[in-house]
Amino acid sequence: MRILAIETSCDETAVAVVECEGGLASPTFRVLSHELYSQASRHAEFGGVYPSLAKRLHNQNFTPLLIQALQKADLEREASTPLSEDQIGSVKAVLEREPELFKALTTYLAHTKKPDIDAIAVTKGPGLEPALWVGVNAARALALIWSIPLIPADHMKGHIFSVLSEKEESLTSHFQFPILSLLVSGGHTQLVLVKDWGTFEIVGETRDDAVGEAFDKVARLLDLPYPGGPHISRLAEEEREQNEVADIDLPRPMLNSDDLDFSYSGLKTAVLYKIKSEGSLNEDRKAAYARAFEDAAIEVLIKKTQRAIERYHPATLIIAGGVAANKYLRSQAEPLVTEHGIPLYIPDLTLTGDNAVMIATAAYIEFLTNEKSSFQNYDIRANSNLRVER
Ligand code: KG4
Ligand code: ZN
């Protein structure tokens, strides 16, 4: 089946069309289009994502991205098919709080035939509430106009299952449960045990800041642009090439606690105090801080993942989410899986950050594991606090 997926949970507006085939024994995914607009530079001056700006930009950019996604998938069929009064009325009711989107979408829909799409998928949560609603309402409007199923998807399951797409062959033969997933992003730091396609348990998580958030906050302390993760990572790598050991000592919060939880706000504060005591930093010192921070942040991720492997004996390890782009994390995870003899899957770099392909993937798994009639319900709601274990 062909799924058109929408993601607007944070600061990326994304639309993708993915051809999904096969049952749970071997689902396969072929990406027909993968469109994305990152708002990051627009939020940079605020040092983080500003929810009402995110909502406004999702509203502006959704329709152009939808058009691009349909065109790239070669599914756009121009035709004059004026919407009936009834259709306009129901879309208007759905997009009551999105007047700009209503106008752009109805104008477009009046000039196109229903594309060859079998279902709409959308992120229902977790994420920023105002941002989520734009995608949810756009998805409701499209499902209504085209009379096709609407599949709400969990953003975190999207990160987990993002490793399944764009593979030459179905991964499933090597992809065995239970799966341990380390989910690392700007909003989350979780260890999730996936017992089967529909059963998830959060076995560890951050008690305060997410690891990506810590990268972004420390980057700010070092005068690096938002989002800071990639900048810290680049500086840290250069520093590691020059000096074998770090000369700044930072704490590893909760490294030796007997649970699988994390804490990143103390690490950020430790960096803040050390920087203050030094006064201004030259470029070399900035790099030394970036490296010391990355060493500490990643060491805790690896150690807790190791502990989770020893506790739950997973058959597969997945590392996903924006921070999974981090090279040092990737390199440190290799010996861990070698030691335990389990395969490691990390999404391609184009799919580590938020995107709509991963939402199509998660939606297809939902479609295969749930009652089909549930997807006729167009009255879905955004849930900013959605938890993967339900
Ligand atoms: O998954 P994502 O795109 O959005 C959320 O759902 O949060 O993750 C974004 C986060 C940001 O905090 C960003 O700084 C971080 O991922 N990030 C990185 C790297 N690339 C992105 N952190 C460390 N190293 C990287 N290379
Ligand atoms: Zn994410």
Closest ligand 1 atom, residue 185 Cα: 8
CA-CA-CA-CA torsion sign (120, 18, 36, 128)? positive
Binding site membership of 158 for ligand 1 (Cβ less than 6 Å): no
Neighbour order of strands in the sheet with 28-38: 28-38, 12-21, 2-7, 119-125, 150-154
pLDDT tens sequence across 271-323 = 999 999 998 999 999 999 999 999 999 999 999 999 999 999 999 999 999 99
pLDDT tens sequence across 108-132 = 998 899 999 999 999 999 999 999 9
Neighbour order of strands in the sheet with 189-196: 199-205, 189-196, 179-184, 316-320, 344-345
Residue 340, token pair as written in the block: 């335990």
Binding site membership of 204 for ligand 1 (Cβ less than 6 Å): no
pLDDT tens sequence across 33-76 = 999 999 999 998 888 889 999 999 999 999 999 999 999 999 99
Mean pLDDT over 208-221 rounds to 97
Euclidean distance between CA atoms 276 and 181, whole angstroms: 37
The string of DSSP letters for 267-289 reads HHHHHHHHHHHH-S--HHHHHHH
Half-sphere exposure of 196 (CA within 13 A, CB side): 5
Separation of 91 CA from ligand 2 center, angstroms? 28
CA end-to-end span of the chain, whole Å?
Answer: 26
Separation of 146 CA from ligand 1 center, angstroms? 35
Binding site membership of 329 for ligand 1 (Cβ less than 6 Å): no
Residue 193, token pair as written in the block: 């045990």
DSSP type of residue 388 = T
Is residue 233 within 8 A of residue 294, CB to CB? The reply is yes
Euclidean distance between CA atoms 139 and 137, whole angstroms: 5
For β-strands 179-184 and 150-154, DSSP reports them as: unpaired
Taking CA 27 as the corner, what is the angle to CA 25 and CA 28, rounded to the nearest 5 degrees? 145
Q: Which of 100-109, 160-169, 207-216 has the lowest mean pLDDT?
A: 160-169
